[in-house]
Each structure stands twice: as structure tokens, then as C-alpha cells.
Chains A and B, each alone.
Chain A
Amino acid sequence: MTDFRRLTGAFVAAIGLILSAPQAFAQQPDRGDEPGLVADDSYELDPEWQKQVVYYRTTEAPGTIIISTTERHLYLVQPGGRAIRYGIGVGRDGFQWQGLVNITNKKEWPDWTPPSEMIQRQPYLPRFMAGGPGNPLGARAMYLGTTVYRIHGTNRPDTIGTKVSSGCFRLVNNDVADLYDRVPVGTKVVIRQKPEL
């Protein structure tokens, strides 16, 4: 079964690669999205990106999510000056943003309908993809306000700690599932960027 999935994944990826070849010369190939590739669950993250409890001083209430784009860390604020820190992948340069939003929806193994802006930039992407292990949104998705952005899982654990997305925040599937169970709809999410010169 797994082998079959892998094969299908490889096949879809190959098609994607062929279709994207002309764009690859025109723009940076998007190594972040590889629809069809099944996540390698045995992939071990660098300690910097592994989930861990850290000292974290903030005036935000426990339960708040704070995302630091520069650090590539997502903090879930805990009582007692602590936070659970997860490693994340963030938007590539020009696709980063900051602000204050709430989680408006939560989905397990979400389907993926790439927004039209994304299709325009990356025409090789599928128009729709059903949820599952080969889906780039991974195991869970949390919707951020009314934006097209999500906190989601990934089928590319090797992209954690990098700047590759179109503005979404990705975690490895185990971590996104862990976070998903800890935060309800309505959770406040603060997204921070580095200061401008």
C-alpha cells in the first residue's frame, strides 16, 4: 500500500515537475509544495525545530499563539512564564506578513484548494486536492481570520525552519496535531516580523 502510494506520489511529482519546468527558469522553483509526496514520518528534525517547553515572558494570556517569522518558531503561551515552542516553515521573502488574527476554523486532514493567486504564480498546482498523507496541508489546518492563510501540517518535514511557503505557517504533522488538540476556535494568534530598517 505504502509502496503504491509512494509510486503514485512520485508519478504526480514527476508530472508536476515536467509541467513546472518552464517556470523553473523564470522564477525560483517552489520546493515547498510537492503535492502527492507522502510525508516521511521517520524524518528527524534538528533540535532547533523540535517541540519543546521554553522560558517565555509575555503580556499575552496563556493559550495565545505567537508566531515569530524571523525565528521560524511558533509559541503557544503557557502559564508561569513558559511557552511550548514548535519549529515552523514560513513564507518566502515577500510573502511574509504580520498582524493579529483569530483561529476561525479547524479541519483534520484538510482538502486543498490553492487560492487563485497561487495558481497564477504556480500554474502546475492542482486546482483541488483531497485531504490525505500526500496533501501539502498535512494532517491538520487552522484557519487564520478571514485570510487565505493557515497554520497547517506538511508532507515536506524537511522544509521546517525554512522560508518557502506562500504565507502559510507549516508544522510537521505530529506537531500540528499536538497544537490542534490544544487550541480551540477563537484562539488569538499574533504574527510578528522583524523590524524594518
Chain B
Amino acid sequence: MMRTFRGGLLIGLAVAVLVGALAVIYEFYDTRTLKRTVRRGEVLCGVNKGLPGFSIPDDKGNWTGFDVDFCRAVAAAIFDDPSKARFVPLDASERFKELQSRKVDILSRNSTWSMSRELDYDLYFPAVAYYDGEGFMVPRSRNKETSLDLADSKVCVQAGTTTLLNLADYFRANNMKYELVKFDKLEDVVKAYDTGKCDTLTADVSQLYALRLNMSKPGDHMILPDMISKEPLAPVVRQRDDDWMMIVKWTLYAMINAEELGVTSENIDEALKSKKPEVMRLVGTEGSYGEQLGLTKDWAVRIIRRVGNYGEMYERNIGEKSQLKIPRGMNQLWNVGGVQYAPPMR
């Protein structure tokens, strides 16, 4: 009698320990990023070490920038607190591997979306945050209106880049002659242009606006509106983690839709009282999209209140209200001159 009782107890205990251990292992090795993020209490964001306007730390370690703010928006959607984003600076060469090895939850690091990157690294770029492309800087006094006016120019460019290849393609396609002035280091390219050794400097447009700040007279230079290559910059997540991918994707789309609907961090309380169906679905006074994402009804309100809509994020970091002053251009909303377009929330 006593023996059976003790045996039962032992078996019961063993089962309990086993179940407990399995639960711990399951929790610890759960590959779903949302769950890991919530348990950790913060989002780990892979960012650029220092790119003005996109992600840069100050001397106290406070990060600012467009890519930084996007990651804060994801943190706001989950925790209603943008400070729950921790920034992990990553090198260009390591970034995709670091994401793959789960060192970060999301890469928000001015990365161009391309087919080979999704295939080679088993990654997924949920949506385009910023349409970049190769462009040209010229002295304002030259009175150039388009890059088609650049025939017979001396072009300053960094050696060994795709920038150089795009340049060759573009000039060949338009039957224009040019003279290359190339350097290995970007500093030397900039110096050569600033001292008048070339007629134009080519690089990605976002980079040109940053480089312009370092010219001896920034106001004397302008960036032409044309782009000769496609560099869609997008956040990156791992494949086969759909819940997480959906959160990242719809965080960006909520910000874009908010701008289109005129909902800002300033009028968000007013928006909560709106009777317009599209606004109601965005702020969660109608429908339950937030819960379906694994978040709360007010997930988009959290993003807009804490970080702002897409336009606010753009202007603050890289737009006219920032040092860079990059015109919205292609990144303007689709219905007012650009190509930024978010699927409807319905």
C-alpha cells in the first residue's frame, strides 16, 4: 500500500519535471519573433552605425533617424512605448547573417530590397520604407535641370561600386559621353568634386543630400530630380515567421495610411472620435485588426501617437524640417505626386 503510493508519487514527479523542462525548452527555443520580443520586453533593431538622417547615435548614445524611428514604431505597436527598441549597430557586410542568426529581430538599416538578397539569405523585405536611387549633384550655377543635360561631363564617382556600373549603363543608353574621375575612398570623391575637379558627383540620392552638408558651401549645390537606378530601402525580417512579418509590414502601412487620411500625432485624439469608416478602422474604433495581428485594438494609435505618421517621420529625419532637406519626391504619397502606396486597411 505504502509502496504503491510512493511509486505513484515518483512517477507523478518525474512527469511534472519532464513537462516543466519541455515547457522551458519550448519557451526558450520558440522561433516566433513576436513571442521572443514580448518575453524579452524589447525589440532588437539592427541599424547603421552612423548615417545622418537614417540612423546615428549622439555622444550620449541616443539614436535618431528614419530607420531608427521605424523600429521605434514597431516597439510602440507592441509595447505602447517607443523606448522599448534597442539598437544594435551592424556592418553592411554582416547585416543579413546577423539577422539570420537571430542577433536582431528586425533589420532597419538602409538596405536595398533585391531578389537575390531574399533568396540567398532566406529573408523577407515586407514593404518599401524609402525609394532611393542613384542621382547627381551639380553646382547650382550650372543651371542643369535634368541628368540628360550632363553629356560630356566629368563625373566624380567611387570606384568598385554598383554606382559606377549604373552610371556607365545610363550614359550609354542615352548616347552621352562622359569622363570618369574615380577614387577608392568616398572622402576623396567628395573632395575632388568640392574643389571643382568634376562637373557632377554621383551616388545614391539620400547619400548626396548627406554629402552636400559637408561641402564648403552647401547652398551652392543641388541634386537633380532624376534617379537612374532603383534602390528601394526596406526593413528586413526572417522568412517563415509570418506573424512577425505581418506586424512589421502593417506598422509601415499604418503610418502611410495615417498620412493619407490626415491622421497625425497631433490630431490623434480627434481621430479617435472620427466617424469616417477608414479612419475608424485605422484607429480601431471599428474592426479588430489589432487583435488579429496579435496586438491590441489601438496598435496603430500607439504608433501614430508615439512616433507619428509616415510624413511626420520623413520630415523630422530627412525632409524639409531636418538638416538633410530631401524633397519628398518619389516618397510622396501616390495621390499627391509620389509612389508611396499602402494597401487599404479593410
Note all chain A residues with C-beta closer than 8 A to B146.
53, 80, 82
Write the B300-332 contact mask toward A (1 if CB under 8 angstroms, else 0). Answer: 000000000000000000001000010101101
Which residues from 268 to 282 on chain B have a C-beta closer than 8 Å to any C-beta of chain A? 270-271, 274, 276, 279
In the complex, the answer to whether A55 meets B271 with C-beta atoms within 8 Å is no
- In the complex, whether B222 has a CB less than 8 A from a CB of chain A is yes
Which residues from 168 to 197 on chain A have a C-beta closer than 8 Å to any C-beta of chain B? 192, 194-197
Interface size band for A: 20 to 34
Q: How far is the CA of A66 from the CA of B227 in the complex (A)?
A: 23
Q: How far is the CA of A48 from the CA of B328 in the complex (A)?
A: 11
Say yes or no: A53-B339 contact (C-beta < 8 A), given A82-B146, A197-B270, A197-B274.
Answer: no
Say yes or no: A52-B327 contact (C-beta < 8 A), given A57-B339, A68-B336, A197-B270.
Answer: yes
In the complex, the answer to whether A82 meets B337 with C-beta atoms within 8 Å is no
Q: How far is the CA of A47 from the CA of B219 in the complex (A)?
A: 8
- In the complex, whether B44 has a CB less than 8 A from a CB of chain A is no
Interface size band for B: 20 to 34
A-B contacts, 28 of them at CB < 8 A, read: A47-B320, A52-B222, A52-B327, A53-B145, A53-B146, A54-B225, A54-B327, A55-B225, A55-B327, A55-B329, A56-B329, A56-B332, A56-B337, A57-B334, A57-B338, A68-B336, A80-B146, A82-B226, A83-B337, A85-B327, A192-B336, A195-B260, A195-B261, A195-B262, A196-B262, A197-B263, A197-B267, A197-B276
- In the complex, whether B210 has a CB less than 8 A from a CB of chain A is no
Interchain CB contact (< 8 A) of A75 among B219, B226, B260, B337:
B337
Chain A residues with a Cβ under 8 A of chain B: 47-48, 52-58, 66, 68, 75, 80, 82-83, 85, 192, 194-197
11 new A-B contacts at CB < 8 Å, known A56-B332, A57-B338, A197-B276 = A47-B320, A47-B325, A48-B320, A48-B325, A55-B227, A57-B330, A82-B146, A82-B226, A85-B327, A195-B260, A197-B261
- In the complex, whether B159 has a CB less than 8 A from a CB of chain A is no
Note all chain A residues with C-beta closer than 8 A to B320.
47-48
Which residue of chain A lies nearest to B263 when distances are taken between CB atoms in the complex?
A: A197
Q: How far is the CA of A81 from the CA of B325 in the complex (A)?
A: 21
Note all chain B residues with C-beta closer than 8 A to A47.
219, 320, 325
In the complex, the answer to whether B225 meets A82 with C-beta atoms within 8 Å is yes
**Nearest chain B CB to A192's CB is how many angstroms away?**
7
Note all chain A residues with C-beta closer than 8 A to B330.
55, 57
**Nearest chain B CB to A78's CB is how many angstroms away?**
9
**Nearest chain A CB to B254's CB is how many angstroms away?**
16
In the complex, the answer to whether B261 meets A57 with C-beta atoms within 8 Å is no
Write the B215-248 contact mask toward A (1 if CB under 8 angstroms, else 0). Answer: 0000100101111000000000000000000000
Interface-central residue, A55, A56, A57, by most chain B CB under 10 Å: A55
In the complex, the answer to whether A197 meets B227 with C-beta atoms within 8 Å is no
Q: How far is the CA of A52 from the CA of B271 in the complex (A)?
A: 35
**Nearest chain B CB to A131's CB is how many angstroms away?**
30
In the complex, the answer to whether B262 meets A194 with C-beta atoms within 8 Å is yes
**Nearest chain A CB to B75's CB is how many angstroms away?**
26
**Nearest chain A CB to B286's CB is how many angstroms away?**
14
